[in-house]
Amino acid sequence: ENYKLITVNTPEEGAKYVYNMIKEELEQNRLHVIGLATGSTMIPVYKELTESDLDFSGVTTFNLDEYVGLSASNPNSYAYFMKEHLFSKKPFKETNIPNGTAEDLEAECARYEDALQASKLDIQLLGVGENGHIAFNEPGTPADSVTHVASLTDSTLGVNSQYFENDEKIPETALTMGIASIMSAKKLILLAFGEKKRPAIEKLLEGKVDSEWTITYILNHPDVTVITDLTDLKA
Ligand code: GLP
């Protein structure tokens, strides 16, 4: 296998592992651009980073995705999440998140992909959805996909709407980096905590690329670290 499987006892321990990887890359002057993810999985990671003295003032960020129609001031937007958990506490050189309120969404996707490819991701952090999606690349998304408008599946709408505040209805579409966008990063770090992620991680460990489980595309990447608290799993 190309990937490294790290099992930890708690999400906090996993977050510490990610922190150490990021620290090492920064110290070796190999981290200039980092791809970031949202979701509960990332909260302990961002806590580690904000409580540290690591200096990100030379680092540019690109987030994976954003809901269509939600602005940065909306508490349910990913831009708001990033501000709350990371950007308000740590200065970065520049932060990028797809603009879900852009008038021309296709043009926004093209602009975002161009910016991404001009910058080149050194590291991409990833979580995983219960149906195996990475970013919002839902089952069936092709390997050559770049940043695009995605329709969310009923499964994703059900899972993610639990976190929606103020009785707001979850948007049915999102802007997301594609599989090829993600695969262009030099290093991938995927985190999966809790039993709900077991089917996706088991699918990954089967070792076969299956477009119905988009997490499995990362099997084709040369530098992947998977961190999970499903301690009974073996690579
Ligand atoms: C969303 C995001 C994914 C994320 C997933 C898991 O669907 N688009 O990037 O990996 O949620 O979220 P959580 O970490 O809350 O389980």
pTM of the predicted structure, to 2 decimals: 0.97
For 23, the token pair is 């620290």
Strands 60-63 and 33-36: parallel
* Residue 230 or 1, more confident: 230
Domain annotation covers residue 56:
yes
Which domain, by its residues, includes 69?
A: 3-228
Domains in the chain, number: 1
- 233 within domain boundaries: no
Residue 21 reports pLDDT greater than 70: yes
Active site residue 221: no
Residue 34 lies in a domain: yes
CA distance 124 to 34: 6
The pLDDT, as a whole number, for residue 235 is 63
For residue 161, report the distance from its CA to the centre of ligand 1, in Å: 11
Q: What is the pLDDT of residues 58-72, one digit of tens each?
A: 999 999 999 999 999
Residue in 137, 160, 191 to alter for ligand 1 test, most ligand atoms within 8 A of Cβ: 160
Grade residue 234 by pLDDT with cuts at 50, 70 and 90: confident
For residue 166, being part of any structural domain is answered with yes
- Chain length of the chain: 235
> Is the confidence at residue 216, as pLDDT, over 80?
yes
Instruction: Look up residue 209 and give its two tokens.
Output: 């690329």
Residue 54 CA to ligand 1 center (angstroms) comes to 25
141 is a domain residue: yes
Q: What is the DSSP string of 46-65?
A: HHHHHHS----TT-EEEESE
Residue 15 host element (H or E): helix 11-27
CB of 116 within 8 A of CB of 179?
no
Angle at 227 between CA 140 and CA 67, to 5 degrees: 45
Give Cβ neighbours of residue 104 (< 8 Å, ≥ 6 apart): none
Cα(38) to ligand 1 centroid in Å equals 6
Tell me whether residue 51 is in a domain: yes
CATH number assigned to the domain comprising residue 104: 3.40.50.1360
Give the distance from CA 175 to its chain's centroid: 13
Whether the Cβ atoms of residue 131 and residue 139 lie closer than 8 Å to each other: yes
Asked if residue 234 belongs to a domain, the reply is: no
Q: Would you say residue 17 lies in a domain?
A: yes
**pLDDT at residue 98 tops 80:** yes
